[in-house]
Amino acid sequence: MDQTKLASVARQLVTPGKGILAADESTGTIGKRFAKINVESTEENRRAYRELLFTTPGVGDYISGVILYDETIRQRAHDGHTFVTVLEKQGIIPGIKVDLGTEPMIDSPFELITKGFEGLEERLRQYFEFGARFAKWRAVITIGESIPTDACISENAQRLAQYAKLCQEVGIVPIVEPEVLMDGAHTIDRCYEVTVKVLEIVFKALRETGVFLPGMLLKPNMVIAGSEAEKNTSDEIARLTLQCLRQTVPKEVPGIVFLSGGQSEIEAAVNLQAMNVAKGDAPWNLSFSYGRALQASALKVWGGKEENSVVAQDEFLKRATMNGLATLGQYTGE
């Protein structure tokens, strides 16, 4: 494990003014998004859409890294260059999603455990050869009646820690993503309580497993009320999220890249801005690792038509710019 190199890549990914594009939708997930715009989810359409994003002129000024999917890291742009090369030419670090989705817990079927350990070390080595320098593993925590259980949080934390350790051993920076879902009618206070508990258990597992904290990034949810509850102000979200992070995240972690988790494009930028304005002397860079919150408008404008590519790229660049400004506390609205 080259700790210097890991720490350097982790810091580059949270360069102030930049953040991460999560373009790692599984074939099923991107299929659902394509269905909404009446585009067939063929390998060629998926490739064309990703190429549109990755070749957007100037996007490397606001995007530090892109999380790819297994299919995507193997694909090429129409000029024959691999997508890894296309990203590197933009000054963007290629990354890879390595978990294989979730399955219900045996003893608690309403809760989910992330799978993907079989052959993981071998896959990580292969992805490193392809050019991936960071990875992502997502754990999902659901808030509901009498859940999450301690068993679910603990099992997901152990898996996140083991994944992170394996990544570092092959020279890949792990993004550790314990997502407390927005689904439901729970209050912001309930989300705070659960998120604190989850992060405490995750960092305990990371430490016990020997994960090198300066060579990893955390991708948490913001502390936010459930999607069926009354919305909070961005100042409330920022205050409670920062309070939660100060309580749980060691200062050695170089950066926190929030997930958007069902927020709209504008909400995700406004909330990130509020946190960077309020963060004071917080030791970490606060950035983003957004999927839908960077892509929704671009995808809609593109609509599967090549002639819309330039307008779609403009939309994508706009969203990347807005969130880049929010990492600096300089987003003033659309």
Domains and CATH numbers, the chain: 3-325 (3.20.20.70)
Tell me what pLDDT residue 256 has: 98
Dihedral, 224, 228, 229, 231 alpha carbons, nearest 10: 60
Per the annotation, the verdict on 318 as an active-site residue is: no
**Which residues, including other chains, have CB under 8 Å from residue 85's CB and lie 6 or more apart?**
131
What's the pLDDT tens digit per position in 93-126?
A: 999 999 999 999 998 989 999 999 999 999 999 9
CA–CA dist 260, 319 (Å, integer): 13
Question: Is the backbone of residue 137 left (phi > 0), alpha (psi -120 to 50) or beta?
Answer: beta
- Rounded to the nearest angstrom, the gap between the alpha carbon of residue 38 and the centroid of all alpha carbons in its chain is 26
CA 98 from chain centre, in angstroms, equals 12
Q: What does the pLDDT average to over 223-246?
A: 96
Residue range 23-66, pLDDT digits in tens? 999 999 999 999 999 999 999 999 999 999 999 999 999 999 99
Q: How do residues 167-186 score in pLDDT, each as one tens digit?
A: 999 999 999 999 999 999 99
Q: Is residue 1 predicted with pLDDT exceeding 90?
A: no
| Rounded Cα distance, 165 and 168, in Å | 5
Which one is catalytic: 18, 136, 219, 279?
219
Using the structure block, give the residue that is written with the tokens 């170089």: 254
Model's pTM, two decimal places? 0.97
| pLDDT at position 144 over 90 | yes
For residue 109, the model assigns a pLDDT of 87
Indicate which residue of 155, 177, 265, 315 is catalytic: 177
Other CB atoms within a 10 A radius of the CB of residue 305 amount to 12
Q: Among residues 89, 67, 211, which one has the least CA distance to residue 134?
A: 67
Candidates 328, 251, 235; CA nearest to 283 is 251
β-bridge pairing 102-104 and 112-114: antiparallel
pLDDT in tens, 36-45: 999 999 999 9
**Please, what is the average pLDDT of the chain?**
97
Region 234-241: mean pLDDT is 98
Active site includes 169? no
> Binning pLDDT at 50, 70 and 90, where does residue 13 land?
very high
Residues of the chain with pLDDT > 90, as a percent, come to 98
For the chain, the distance separating the N- and C-terminal CA atoms, rounded to the nearest angstrom, is: 43
